[in-house]
Amino acid sequence: MSKSITIIGAGPGGYETAAAAAEKGFDVTLITDGPLGGTCLNEGCIPTKCLCRNAEVLEDFAHSEEYGITASYSFDFKKAVERKEAVISQLRSGIEFLLKKVRIIEGKASFKDSHTVLVGEEEIESDYIIIATGSVSALLPIPGNDLEGVITSKELLSIDVIPRKLCIIGAGVIGLEFASIFNSFGSEVTVLEYCPNVLPRFDIDLAKRLKQSLSKKGISIITSAKVESIEHSPGGLEVKYQFKDNRFSILSDKVLMAVGRRPNLKSLNFDEIGIETTPKGVVVNNYMQTSVPNIYAIGDITGGMMLAHVATFQGRRVLNHLTAGCPSEGPVDKIQLDLVPAAVFTSPEVATIGKTEEECKAEGVAFKIRKSFYRANGKALSMNSPDGYCKIIEEEKSGRILGCHIIGSHASDLIQEVTALISMDGNIYDLSSIIHAHPTLSEIVLNAAD
């Protein structure tokens, strides 16, 4: 008889693992208390990317005269929202099709014991359980964080009127993507960031360049700013912050809280069955097993890099562990869960893989930097996208590629080539030996190696 798996949570971690497990012959039950696709599809990556595309088209219109095109245009935000909903619904149908061999139960799950999950009156027994219940937006613990108009990315994605003034707290990935989108939509955007740089965990050089580009577009980004409170005032929401020992405030129609996400530790009764957690998330080993060995956890609930593709590959690790007979040591696949590309869909885009310059310095690694610029690339100029660069960090003595950081058009696509090379322990000479098609943006990566 086939082994059974119950998966709790239907985001990219949960539903992709469910579909793959069913294909492998497991008897799979997927439990979800929200729509299929989770945060990524319904209130994260996908809707944001739809709005990013709107922003891109608007930017093209704004620069149309540079192409010899005189256009009069208007922007119907309602239509943009409808397009986003249509994309989500098309993708959701695709997921339903993928899950045709999976039993889906709608409702809130809780553990009865280490092999039994309850949903209402129903008891679901299985050999293995995979927890994929994701994360929730964090809120700054300051007075006024619950006022009307103080929202998270989830609510900002479902507004129907573009705010005239938008204040964003946090210049991380979410903060900057929305700053970029709503700047293109015509909002007056101010971003307040606690750290001295935007995108604190990214290569500093790259982060500074992004700040410069976004500032040039009219986004006001104030770093080293400590937000203290939010109040209602006659002019709107007043966000009060401290900057260099002085107190300032700004007025806005909406305030977006984008100060991180935290694992959804309230999603299940972990303690009752002895699953170890810390405030950072559910504790797992290299096979994604929790402290209860037949129960696995994947994705944002485990803390770490809260990215859809991380959840997906952690799910693949679980299935590889199960099909390998659950060994307690040794590799079960070639997936490198510590080598994760990341992209920020601002305009210009940013993408990163491997070590930053600061990490290399901290580890005492002797390294060299190679850079090439979009402005010297034929395709980039023909696309009217001269802004950006590709920076490759190589180990000085071997030429081994340690990291790559790209800012500019399609950075998120370009990073994948370097990701493949790093994952195969490639070096700069391998990269410069690969023929790249001309004229393409990929030559920017090649030129950095040359």
Active centre residues (catalytic): 438
Q: Per-residue x/- mask for ligand NAD, residues 14 to 53, rule CB under 6 A? A: ----------------------------------------
Residue 174 binds ligand NAD, judged by CB under 6 A: yes
Count how many Cα atoms sit within 13 Å of the Cα of residue 27 in the half-sphere of its side chain.
8
Residue 224 vs 320, nearer CB to ligand NAD: 224
**Segment interacting with ligand NAD (CB under 6 A) among 55-63, 88-96, 101-109, 186-194:** 186-194
Angle of the 12-23 helix axis to the 308-323 helix axis, nearest 10: 30
Could you tell me the CA-to-CA distances from 189 to 173, 174, 338, 387 in Å, in that order? Answer: 15, 14, 35, 21
Q: Which of 19, 140, 221, 275 touches ligand NAD (CB under 6 A)?
A: 140
Residue 250 vs 258, nearer CB to ligand NAD: 258
The CB-of-307 to ligand NAD minimum distance in angstroms stands at: 5
In this structure, the strands spanning 261-263 and 254-257 are unpaired
Residue 344 binds ligand NAD, judged by CB under 6 A: yes
What residue type is assigned to position 285 of the chain? N
Q: Which of 35, 200, 386, 399 touches ligand NAD (CB under 6 A)?
A: 200
Of the candidates 341, 345, 317, 306, the residue with the CA atom closest to the CA atom of residue 419: 341
Rounded CA-CA distance 198/170 in Å is: 8
CB atoms within 10 A of CB 37: 25
Angle at 339 between CA 405 and CA 404, to 5 degrees: 15
Residue 307 binds ligand NAD, judged by CB under 6 A: yes
Residue 306 binds ligand NAD, judged by CB under 6 A: yes
Residue 299 vs 426, nearer CB to ligand NAD: 299
Of the candidates 100, 116, 111, the residue with the CA atom closest to the CA atom of residue 36: 100
Q: Closest residue to ligand NAD, Cβ-based?
A: 172
Residue 249 vs 294, nearer CB to ligand NAD: 249
Q: Which of 139, 195, 222, 337 touches ligand NAD (CB under 6 A)?
A: 195
Residue 175 binds ligand NAD, judged by CB under 6 A: yes
What are the tokens at 348? 């210009």
Rounded CA-CA distance 36/408 in Å is: 33
Residues 230-269 that bind ligand NAD (CB under 6 A): 258-261
Query: What are the start-end ranges of the H helices in 229-333?
Result: 308-323
**Segment interacting with ligand NAD (CB under 6 A) among 174-182, 285-293, 326-334, 401-409:** 174-182
Query: What are the start-end ranges of the H helices in 104-203?
Result: 153-156, 173-184
Residue 172 binds ligand NAD, judged by CB under 6 A: yes
Residue 144 binds ligand NAD, judged by CB under 6 A: no
Rounded CA-CA distance 191/178 in Å is: 10
Q: Which of 14, 170, 281, 408 touches ligand NAD (CB under 6 A)?
A: 170
Rounded CA-CA distance 328/336 in Å is: 18
Residue 169 binds ligand NAD, judged by CB under 6 A: yes
Q: Which of 61, 77, 194, 373 touches ligand NAD (CB under 6 A)?
A: 194
What does the binding site for ligand NAD look like in residue numbers (CB under 6 A)? 140, 169-175, 177, 192-195, 200, 227, 258-261, 306-307, 342-345
